[in-house]
Amino acid sequence: MRDEDARSILIRNDRGGYTVPNGRVYPFQWNWDSAFVALGFTAFDLDRAWREIESLFEAQWPDGFVPHIVFWKDDPGYFPGPDRWDTKTRPLTSGITQPPVAATVVRDLWMQGGEQVRDRMAALFPKLMAWTRWFRTHRDFEGRGLVVALHPWETGRDNSPEWDEPGAAIDTSDVAPYQRRDTSHLDAAMRPTTAEYDRYVALVDYGRERGWDHARLARENPFRVADVGMTMILLRADRDLLALAEALGRDAEAEELRGYIARAEQGVDWLWNAEVGAYCSRDVLTGRSSGFVTSASFLGFYAGLSDPERDKAVLAALTRIGEAVRYLVPSLDPHDPGFQMIRYWRGPVWAVLNYMIGRGLEEAGQEGLARRVREDTRDLIRQSGFYEAFDPTTGAPTGGDDFSWTAAVWLCWAGR
């Protein structure tokens, strides 16, 4: 029955070529949401899965940038909408990006479809290459091989405590009045605070006032954080993109990607925090490590990293966390004093992070923990339904219901 329910959610949230995360709370196309949704469609409509990714790249900017929101149709139920972003693009989009999951998904779609989808894979390849080059130009401006986020929303983990200290430098005194829409749909206790939202909007206004000049923003933006999540996801994406380049005989691009991968494998050293035994995000402006162990700290296996001592510490941290909660993987270490079971990325379990963490653990040969992450995800969805996220202590649902990427994770992984 869960398979049928999950398919129904994707079909119901389909807007004709793109899928909204949730019709009431998120009425547009979101970047990494669409990538995961494509994996869900593979369970019953491979052509529709490809179309999801293709529609996202129809909004790619000429310089390779892929925005985090595409406003195919206006909807007053969401803020900030296209007027506040004012990117002057066609179609209208936001001015920031999101974790680059798409290349990994395209490889998965290609492996499932084989030669019959080779042309679609080949058509997307240069667009994916342009995006990874954009990251190197505008989000790795120090050449460390890391992804520097210029907005908490870029990370996909909007209100993680990792952004609290770096966000304190954001001037919110001149933010024009606005009305949040998210809290009219959902319990405010599950959402970012007003102070956090003021910072988000201030950064949107900051980028708009500078014409979304990403080169300038990389130099001047008041928020610049090397994000462990985006870094690991891009490293994995580049490995998968390399496999596509080799399959297509694109030798020059393959060599370019090998260089990106090698640089990232060295660069992640800067994110390792020996004191907490985990990879942590780091403020580029101050050089300080966040010191927070989040669900993104466990993406190293997904990224293909291997270091015996670090792996041992990371696995110990995940085991310790697993003993403190009923369901893995909470978005913040439950031993942290700021842990909040239902507040967005300060505690709840997210099925898409579990999918990446579980997949990485399995690929690294960590069968026991991989099984725990997968079974916990399955149990959460069976108990509470296809919600945005879940309380790791009770399994209670949090956030929006009938959520597309949770349904997709069930179809492609958790429910298998």
33 is catalytic: no
| Phi and psi torsions of 29, nearest 5° | -90, 125
The one catalytic residue among 158, 196, 311, 375: 158
The one catalytic residue among 205, 283, 376, 388: 388
| Cα 310 to Cα 292: distance, rounded to the nearest angstrom | 16
363 is catalytic: no
Instruction: From 122, 142, 124, 156, select the one nearest 55 (Cα to Cα).
Output: 124
Instruction: From 317, 320, 282, 289, select the one nearest 301 (Cα to Cα).
Output: 317
Residue positions annotated with a catalytic role: 158, 388
